[in-house]
Each structure stands twice: as C-alpha cells, then as structure tokens.
Amino acid sequence: MLFGILLAAIAGALVSMQTVFNNKVNEQTGSWTTTMLVLFMGFVASLLASLIFEGKNTFTLQHVQLWYWFSGMIGVGVVFCLVQGMRRLGPTYAISIVLTAQLGTALLWDSLGWLGLEKIPFTPAKLIGVLVIIGGILVFKFGGRKEIKSESPVAE
C-alpha cells in the first residue's frame, strides 16, 4: 500500500509539472499544437519503454476491449483542457479543480461499479471528504488577504 501511495503522489507531482511545461509550450504555439506535441512525445516515450520492458508483448492486444483503445482520445481532451484551464486560472487553482474533479468522478465510478470496477458503497463520509476539498479550494481562492498595491516612492 505504501508503494501505491508513493506512486500516486509521484503521478500528482508529474501531472502538475507537465501542466506547467505544457503551458510554456502553449505560450509559443497553439493549444492544438501543444496537445499534438505532448501526446506524440508521450507516444514515443511509451513505445520505447514498452519495447525495453515488455519486448514482444508490447503488441499483444487481443484481450483488450475495443472501446478502451480510445483512451488516447480522452488524453487529447485532458491536455487541451489543462492547458486552457491553467492559462485562465493559474497552475495551483487549475490543478486543485482538476484533482477535485478527478476525485468526484472516481467516487462516482467506484460507487456505481461502472466498466467492471469493484462497486464500493457510497457513504456520507466520502461525500464530506469531497466537500471538504471543495471548501479548501474556495478558501484558497477567495479567503486569502487581498493584495495591497503600494505606490512606488517618488524620487524628490
């Protein structure tokens, strides 16, 4: 379990870092070019890693349901929406919303047992957990001190 927590934490850090990188690319190109570049580079890296670690099993796909093959298309939406969200909201606010949406969606899928997931009962405690996170985002965004713009000292 500890290793799973570590991997999940690393994934969260990588998502945040990737979003910053994507935003920097997007400053020089368009959102669709950024998305294409990110996913192409991901394809190349995945292909090489798969060939190194899985060898000929890389192309053994006969037991994968056809609709799961479309997850790469979902990735297009992920990258595009993250780049646009970060550009409009800033990295911390955008990522906090993304993570909350991920948690809420995962809770829904778990609770309903969709796509063969083990059905995990929905409890009020789980709802409270999501609401606490949403409250934290609201405090983060709206609860801080207002910036006070000071006048520059005028040289006499």
Instruction: Summarize pLDDT for 108-145 with one digit per residue, the tens.
Output: 998 999 878 889 999 999 989 889 988 988 888 888 76
> pTM for this structure?
0.73
Q: Which residues of the chain have pLDDT under 50?
A: 156
Q: Is 45 helix (H, G, I), strand (E, B) or coil?
A: helix
% of the chain with per-residue pLDDT over 70: 92
d(CA 37, CA 39): 6
d(CA 150, CA 145): 14
Phi, psi (deg, nearest 5) at residue 154: -95, 125
Question: Following DSSP, what letter does each residue of 77-112 receive, concatenated?
Answer: HHHHHHHHHHHHH-HHHHHHHHHHHHHHHHHHHHHH
